[in-house]
Structure 1
Amino acid sequence: MKRSSHNPVTKMMTVLSGIGLVVILNSCTTSSGNSGGMQMPTPSLPVISVSNQAATTFLEFPSTVEGKVNVEIRPQVSGYLERIYVDEGAYVRVGQPLFGINDQPYREQNANAHAAMLAAQANVEKAQLEVDRLTPLVKNNVVSEIQLKSAEASLQTAKANLAQAKAQAGNTQISLGYTVVKAPVSGYIGHIHHRLGSLVGRGEDLPLTVLSDVNEVYAYFSMSEIDFLQFKARTQGNTLEEKIKNLPAVELMLADGSAYSEKGKVETVEGQFDKTTGAISFRATFPNAKGLLRSGNTGRVRIPSVHDNALVIPQEATFELQDKVLVFVLADSNKVVSRPIQVEGQTTNYYFVKDGLKTGDKIVYSGLSRLRDGAVINPQPLSLDSLLKSKPL
C-alpha cells in the first residue's frame, strides 16, 4: 500500500525545519550586518614621563669569608693528649694554654740533660785546676811544656763538652715546654679534632684545631674576564692599584639577605686569572670587632656605582624580544611605538638607560601585552616621583 505524502507528521517536520532554517539565516544576516559596526574601546593605560635621577647601583659577587689569620695548631712533640684547656668556639688570647701533652718522658730527658751538663761543668773545673797547677811548674822548669799544653787541650775539650751538654739541656727544656700547646695569636678556637687520650704528634694529618683571628676578616670574591674589563673601564685611575684605591666602600650581604653593619674596602687583586674558572680573585677587608663574622661565612660583596644623572625607568615598563629590551613610547595622536633601549645599570625595580630614550619621552607603564605598534591608547599620566616613593631606587 502506497503511503500518502500528506501525512500530518511529515507536514509538521517540514514546517519546523523551514522555521529553523529561517531563524538561522536571519541570525547570520543580523550578525554579519552588525559586525562592521562593532569597535573595541580605546584602552586607558598609565604613562610616565622619563626623567633623570641621582641613583646608586650595585654589582654583586659571591664571596667567602676568612679570618685575617687562620693558624693550624699542631703539636711539636709526640705524646698522649692529657689536657684540653679550651672549648670549641672559645675566644683565647695570645700565649694562653690550649692543650697539654703527657710531659713525663720529657721531664726525664730534661733531668738527664741537666745532670750531663753538671758533669761537664765539673770536668771543666777539673781541667782548669790541672792547667793552673802546671802553669807555675812549667815556668820554673819543673815539668815540661808538653804536659801543660796537654792539660790545656783537655780543658778545651771539657769546655766543648760543657757547651754541648748545655745545648742538649736547652733542647730538652724546649721540648718540655712544647708539651703545653699555647695560642700563637688571639682568636677563636675551631673544631677540636682530637680528644683526651689521643696519641698526637708532628706527623698527624689533622691539626689539633684551627685558631682564627677575626678582628678583621677577608671577603674573597671573583670577577669574570668581562666583569674585570668593565671594572677597569668604568673605574678612575691610570693603574690597577689606583683603580682599586678609587673604589668606594663596599657592602657585604649575608646569607640571609641582610647587610652586614660595617663597610669594607677592596684592597688586593690576584696577579692572574684562574685557568680553570676563567676568573680573577679580589680581596675585601671588613672590620669585625664584635666577632659577628667567622671563617667560613658566605655572602655577596656589593660594589656601588654612583650615577649622578641617570635616566631612570621602571622595569615593569619594559619587555624583552630577541635578547633586546624594549619600551612602548607614546607618539603623535596617542599612538604607541616600540623602541629598543640600552641598559647601563639596574636596581631591583629600575633600569638606567644609556641609549634609546631622552628626558621627557613618555612611555607606557603597564598593560604592554595588549599593545602593538601603532595602537592607540588613552594615556593616563603617572608621576615617576610618586612611583619612586612607593618603590624606591
Structure 2
Amino acid sequence: MKRILAGMFASLLLAACSGSEEPPAPQAVPVKAVTVANQSIPNVIELPGRVEPVREAEVRARVTGIVQQRLYQEGTNVSAGQPLFRIDPRELRAARAQTQASLERARATAANARAVVERYRPLVAENAISQQEYDAALAASREADANVAQIRAQLEAASLQLGYTTVRAPIAGRAGRAQVTEGALVSQPEGTLMTRIEQISPVYVSFAQSASEVLALRRAVAAGDIELDENDHIEVRLRFSDGTEYPVPGYIDFRGFSVDEETGTVELRAEFPNPSGLLLPGEFVRAQIFAGQVNQGIAVPQRAVTINENGGSVFVIDDKGLAALRPVELGAMVDGRWIIESGLRPGDVVITSNLQKIQPGMPVERLKDTANGKAPPKNAGSKAR
C-alpha cells in the first residue's frame, strides 16, 4: 500500500512539474526586406484628363440645295479634298450659264464701244466732231469695260457656288456620322452641319491643375526640393479607365499662365502619338505628369504594400526582430514602385516577402540584406504635394 501511495505521489509531482514549463517560442518566419533610404525620384502629379483631337473641322453646307448623295463611309479616314457629299447642281449650273451669257453680251458691247472710240479719234483731230462727243464715246467704252469686269467676277462667284455642290473634306482625318441624308434640304445662310472630321493622330490630352498645387510646386522648385528638367521637357503617361497603361508617353506642349476664375485651376495640355487610334476624343484618362525630380524621396517595391479601405500599410522589422504593421500614405505607383509620402523614415526595414504568413508581433528572420541604396528608375515618381 505504501508503494502504491508513493507511486501516485511521484506521478502527481511529475505532472505538476511538467505543467509549469513555458511553451516553446514560435519559429521565426524567413522574409526578404529592403532598407529605406532617401533617394532622388521623379515628382509625379496625378491628374484626370480628357482626350481631344488635334484638329476638328465642321463640314457645313456652303450652298442651298438638295443632297443627292453621300460619297464617303461613315467612321473612316478621309483625305483633305476628298468628296463627302453631292448637292443637286442643276440650279446653280443654270445660273452660271446665264452669267456666262451676260458676260458675252457685255464683251460685245465693250468691243463696239472701243470701235467707236477708234473711229472718233482721227475725226476729233480734224475737228469733224466735237471734243465732247469724243469724250462721251471714251467714257462709254470705259463703262463697258467695267461692266465686263463686273460680270466676269460674277461668273467666278457662280463657278465657286457650283463647285460647292461637291462638298469636300477641309482636312484629313476621321469622318464622323453624317448629319444629313439624301433628299435633305441644306441651307447656305444657316450653314447646315453635314458631318465632322477629327484628326486623332496625334491627339491632345487636356488637364486642369489646382492653382494651389502650382504654387506649391513653384515654392518647392525655388527651395531646391524639386529640380526641373533643364530642357523643359515634361513627360506624361496615361492610364485608361480600366487601369491599363497607354504604351506611348507624351509631353506637355502648353501651359496656361492664368487661373480660371470659376474653377481655380490652371490649364495644361500634352500631345500624344496615336498611331493605332487607341485614344478616342472625349475619353477620360488618368495622367501621371513627371514634373522634375524630388531630391529626398522614399520608394518601396509594390509587393511590399498592402492596400485596404483605410489606405496602404507595410510590415517593418522592429528593433526586437518582430514584424510591425506600419500605415503609410501612398503617392504614385510607377514601374512597380510605390512612392511613400509619409509613414516611413530612412533606415526602416520593410518586409517584401511572405506577407501572408506574418502577423504583427511575429518574429521574422531576414534572409538577405537587400539594402536599397540606389535611386529608383527615372519614372518611379511621387505625387506632388
Q: Structure 1 residue 276 and structure 2 residue 273: aligned?
A: no
Stretch moving more, 337-346 or 96-105: 337-346
Secondary structure at 1:208 match in 2: strand
Aligned to 1:119: 105
Structure 1: tracts of 5 or more residues without a match: 1-34
User: Displacement, 1:198?
Assistant: 0.7
Tell me: CA distance 1:325–1:36, structure 2 relative to 1, closer, same or farther (3 Å): farther
CA distance in 2, matches of 1:215, 1:314: 35
User: Equivalents in 1 of 2:106, 2:144: separation in Å?
Assistant: 7
Alignment of 1:352-367 (within 5 A): 352=340, 357-359=345-347, 361-362=348-349
134, 159, 162: which is aligned to 2:145?
A: 159
2:365 to 371, 377, 380: 380
Distance in 2 between residues matched to 1:236 and 1:90, nearest whole Å: 50
Instruction: After TM superposition, give the deviation of residue 60 of structure 1 in Å.
Output: 2.9
Q: CA deviation at 1:51?
A: 3.5
**Which of 50, 58, 61 is equivalent to 2:35?**
50
Partner of 1:97: 83
In the alignment, the residues of structure 2 paired with residue 107 and residue 237 of structure 1 have an alpha-carbon distance, to the nearest angstrom, of 72
Residues 62 and 299, structure 1, Cα contact 8 Å, conserved in 2? yes
Q: 1:77 to 1:40 in 2, by over 3 A?
A: farther
- CA distance in 1 between counterparts of 2:312 and 2:278 reads 42
How far has the Cα of 1:95 moved from its partner? 1.2
Q: What's the CA shift for 1:149?
A: 0.8
- Tell me, in whole angstroms, the C-alpha distance in 1 between the residues paired with 2:329 and 2:287: 26
- The worse-fitting range, judged by mean Cα deviation, of 206-215 and 294-303 is 294-303
Of residues 121, 135, 152, the one that matches 1:135 is 121
Contact 2:237 2:246 (8 Å CA) reproduced: yes
2:172 alignment partner AA:
S
More helix by share: 1
> 1:92 Cα shift?
1.2
Contact 1:55 1:307 in 2 (8 A): yes
Match of 2:57 among 45, 51, 71: 71
Return the letter of the residue paired with 1:50. Answer: T
Q: Which residue of 1 aligns with 2:12?
A: none
- Amino acid aligned to 2:366: P
Aligned-partner SS, 2:45: strand
Larger Rg: 1
Q: Which residue of 2 aligns with 1:218?
A: 204
What TM-score, normalized by structure 2, do the two folds share?
0.73
Q: CA deviation at 1:313?
A: 4.0
Alpha-carbon separation, structure 2, partners of 1:283 and 1:312: 28
Q: In structure 2, the residue corresponding to 1:227 is in which secondary structure?
A: helix
Q: Deviations over 1:32-65 (max 9, x none)?
A: xxx9998896695668452347866743322222
Any idea what SS the aligned residue of 2:193 has?
Answer: coil
Number of equivalent positions:
346
Partner of 1:288: helix, strand, or coil?
A: coil
Counterpart position of 1:201:
187
Q: Equivalent residue for 1:293?
A: 279
Q: Distance in 2 between matches of 1:228 and 1:175?
A: 52
Q: For residue 228 of structure 1, what is the aligned residue in structure 2?
A: 214
- RMSD over aligned CA atoms reads 4.2
Report the CA distance between 1:270 and its aligned residue. Answer: 2.1
Shift in Å at residue 362 of structure 1? 3.5
Contact 1:57 1:345 in 2 (8 A): no
CA separation of 1:301/1:159 partners in 2, compared to 1, >3 Å: closer, same or farther?
Answer: same
**Is 1:173 aligned to residue 168 of structure 2?**
no
1:190 has 2:176 as partner: yes
Q: Secondary structure at the match of 1:276?
A: coil
User: Would the alpha carbon gap of residues 103 and 327 (structure 1) be closer, same or farther in structure 2, given more than 3 Å must change?
Assistant: closer
Displacement of 1:345 in angstroms is 5.6
Does 1 or 2 have the higher relative contact order (CA < 8 Å, sep 6+)?
2
Q: How far is 1:204 from its partner?
A: 4.3
Cα distance, 1:36–1:270 mapped onto 2, change above 3 Å: farther
- 1:214 Cα deviation (Å)? 2.3
Q: Deviations over 1:220-274 (max 9, x none)?
A: 1221234323444556999xxx869524432222344333332211110123222
**In 2 relative to 1, CA 326–125 (structure 1 residues): closer, same or farther, beyond 3 Å?**
closer
Q: Is the 8 A contact 2:80 2:172 kept in 1?
A: yes
> Residues 319 and 215 from structure 1, CA distance in 2 versus in 1: closer, same or farther, beyond 3 angstroms?
closer
> How many Å separate the matches in 1 of 2:265 and 2:43?
22
Aligned-residue identity in percent: 26
On the 8 A contact 1:222/1:281 being kept in 2, the answer is yes
**TM superposition shift of 1:279:** 2.1
